Amino acid sequence: MQAAETARSAGRPTADLTAYDLYLRAYAMALSSAAQIHEELRLLEQAIDRDPRYGPALAYAAICCLRLLIYDRSDHPEADAVKGVDFARRALEVAGDDPGILANAAIALAYFGEDIGAAMALVDRALTFNPNFGRGWFQSGVIRIWASQPDIAVEHIEAALRLSPRARVGMSLFSIGQAHFLSRRFDEAVPKLLLAIQEDRSFPLAYRFLAACYAHMGRLDDAREIVKRLCTITPAVVADANFLRNADHRELLLSGLRLAAGEAV
């Protein structure tokens, strides 16, 4: 273990041990409550202040900005989006052949509205460097969902689950449910989205997609019950869906949400 830790320490992409410690403390919060995202980002910004070319910290800071928006935790969404793009672009300047930096930067840039084709190329590049990178396959799948390729997305996310069956590489259940929803496979989407909510009860998008799914199935009572549960974690029922590049996909989600909201809002 000492030899492994020594090798890991020697391979860290920063010479500043304090920056490295700040990054590790932030990364340790990755699977914790969404309420800690602000603290994660604060620690990462401290690390970046100490080493402005610290690639993993820059890329993960971009992910934190993304998470602030998708969890409805941002007080200034436009400013956090600008910040997230800046972190991701700076990460790419120093990424080299690091698949983690490339994939994290790719998904952040894709979410914040940058060129989706370029984002797919970046994550594909990450996977050429490490074809066994489970989280990279998951992130590739998510970007494919946003790029209107839901069937390819499911293939990539399932590949991630095969590679890392015991590790949380991302919101796999939600993402597969989202892909089925956008393909109008509502009966297949519902069980995945229900499990996604059980996995993380603080994630607004899972409630939104499930409510919209029920609404399009004609199950309006179920849809409105999900909207009520959504309102316990965020005041926003119908939210921005511009991460979906396909206009028909955006309207499928938003029209379902408007129908689901009905008298519940």
Show the CA angle centred on residue 249, arms to residues 243 and 252, nearest 5°.
120
Q: What is the pLDDT of residues 20-77, one digit of tens each?
A: 999 999 998 876 778 899 999 999 999 999 999 999 999 999 999 999 999 999 999 9
1-130: CATH number: 1.25.40.10
Q: What is the pTM of this model?
A: 0.91
% the chain with pLDDT above 90: 85
- Cβ atoms within 10 A of the Cβ of 98, count? 19
Q: If residue 211 lies in a helix (H) or strand (E), which one and from where to where?
A: helix 204-216
